[in-house]
Amino acid sequence: MLLKHGIIRSNFTSKGYAVMDGGHITYTGLNLDITSHTVCFWFKPATLTDFNQNLGYDWSNGFNMHSDAQGSIYAGNYLFGNEQNRLTPIDIPGNVLEVDLLNHQAFSFNGLTKEASWVKDGIAIASKIFTDGPTNPMASFRINTNVHGLIGEVMFFNTHKTPEQIAAIRSGSGDLSGLQLYWKLHEDFLDYSGNNYHPTYTDNIAFSPA
Q: Residue 117: which residues within 8 A CB-CB, separation 6 or more?
A: 107, 108, 109, 124, 126, 127, 163
CA distance 157 to 138: 12
First to last CA, the chain: 16
CA distance 152 to 176: 16
Boundaries of every domain in the chain: 17-137+152-209
The whole-number pLDDT of residue 14 equals 58
Region label for 113, one of left (φ > 0), alpha (ψ between -120 and 50) or beta (otherwise) = alpha
Q: So what CATH class is 17-137+152-209? A: mainly beta
CA distance 134 to 114: 10
Contact 193, 154 (CB under 8 A): no
The whole-number pLDDT of residue 59 equals 57
The whole-number pLDDT of residue 169 equals 96
Burial of 143 (0-12, 13-18, 19+ CB in 10 A): buried
pLDDT tens, the chain, 210 aa long: 222 233 333 344 457 899 999 999 999 999 998 999 999 999 999 999 998 898 998 655 678 898 999 999 999 876 556 778 889 999 987 889 999 999 999 999 999 999 999 999 999 999 999 988 887 888 999 999 999 999 999 999 999 999 999 999 999 988 999 999 999 999 999 999 999 999 999 989 999 987
